[in-house]
Amino acid sequence: MTRFDWQAYDDGSMDVATRAQAEQALATSDQARRELEQFRAFRVQLRDAAMAEPVPVERLQARLQVVVRPGRPARTYRVATWTAGLAAAACLAVVFVLARAPRIDEVSTPAVAIETTVHEPRAVRDWLASGTGLPVPEIRLAGLDASIAGASHGKDWIAWKVTMCGDEYVIYGRESNNWFDHATEIQTGLKPMYVDGKHVGWYCGMGMAYIVKGGTEEGRLQLAKRACMETPSAVKMSQSPAERT
């Protein structure tokens, strides 16, 4: 199996052709899915370790104040002192990088999914709600020449497969309030939309955010405009099948 740079895959820097190969591998290879899961687990461990590492801020500030003083030549310190300072600075850098808001790409291509061919809007809603416990709206895409072709979910995300005008799209939903921090906000007259060239996203009530990916740029925006009207803050979320019986 081809080995992939999962860091590049997760941070969005992987080129389009290689990403397509990686996504194909994730869809067909248990080994590829394990590698990505192991990488993400390692990243979480690294972040946790960095957060737990004590940083001697006062010592660093004191050293910086006396490195160079006006009228005096720069002083040279022992290598060990600078090594400790650099290690602490690196620790802070790791915390900053790993704590940043995620890019859309980093969470819009899940590696492990449970799928269904159910396509009736209410049945899809019920299936997603019972499988995740997330607040799931009934997406119908009323008024569009579009149809739901199936759905999928992971432990913390939901997705609708959509076909419109011969093109395939996916609507992803997840709990987030910072998913679009790296995207560009546009005003459509409905609610703010966020675009990054490959996705169109929006925030809704109950802490949920959604994106549309795939298809064409015009199609993504058209789908997002319709879907966002079916996922408003005031939408009455479905009861679980158990609650209705």
- Whether this model's pTM surpasses 0.75: no
- Per-residue pLDDT tens digits for 73-131: 544 444 445 455 555 555 544 444 434 445 565 554 555 568 888 889 999 999 999 98
pLDDT of res. 21: 87
Round to whole Å and give the CA distance between 69 and 221.
Answer: 57
Average pLDDT over residues 146-154: 91
Sheet holding 146-153, edge to edge: 114-116, 146-153, 157-164, 167-175, 208-214, 199-203, 193-195, 184-186
Could you tell me which residue, 43 or 100, shows the higher pLDDT? 43
Average pLDDT over residues 52-66: 60
- Asked whether 85 and 64 are in contact (CB, 8 A), the reply is no
- Per-residue pLDDT tens digits for 228-237: 989 865 333 4
pLDDT of res. 98: 39
pLDDT of res. 91: 52
- Asked whether 68 and 74 are in contact (CB, 8 A), the reply is yes
Residue percentage of the chain with pLDDT more than 90 = 30
Average pLDDT over residues 28-57: 74
pLDDT of res. 240: 41
When the pLDDT of each residue in the chain is averaged and rounded to a whole number, the result is 76
pLDDT confidence bin for 201, thresholds 50/70/90: very high
